[in-house]
Amino acid sequence: MPTQVVYDPSKMKWDQGNTTFSTSEKHLPFDTSYDLVNPKTERSMRFHFSHSTGSEWDPATKWIYWNLEKCIKLEVSNDPEMTAKASEAYLSAKLRK
């Protein structure tokens, strides 16, 4: 079941020219699909994971999702602080520290 996300312009940017919603991982729990809900109309649009632009440990990585028609994109950017903490925790677990 996709994670339901209510559009909040203080946490998510809409770029009309690129038909792209962008946000940070700070504002969304990780999922492979999202239902983005317009709070004014209560209509939603489903987005499915397509690809990432880099490693999960790279703070510049973006996670790319497309709507069903593949004409509107959702980009979720890694947060530098969250990425550093996750990377450290992963390394510690692997090294059993």
Categorize the per-residue pLDDT at 86 as very low, low, confident or very high, splitting at 50, 70 and 90. Answer: confident
pLDDT in tens, 6-42: 999 999 999 999 999 999 999 998 999 999 999 999 9
Per-residue model confidence (pLDDT) at position 39: 96
Per-residue model confidence (pLDDT) at position 90: 85
Of the candidates 79, 81, 85, 48, which has an alpha carbon nearest to the alpha carbon of residue 66?
Answer: 48
Per-residue model confidence (pLDDT) at position 97: 60
**Which residues form the domain of 25?**
3-95
Domain tally, the chain: 1
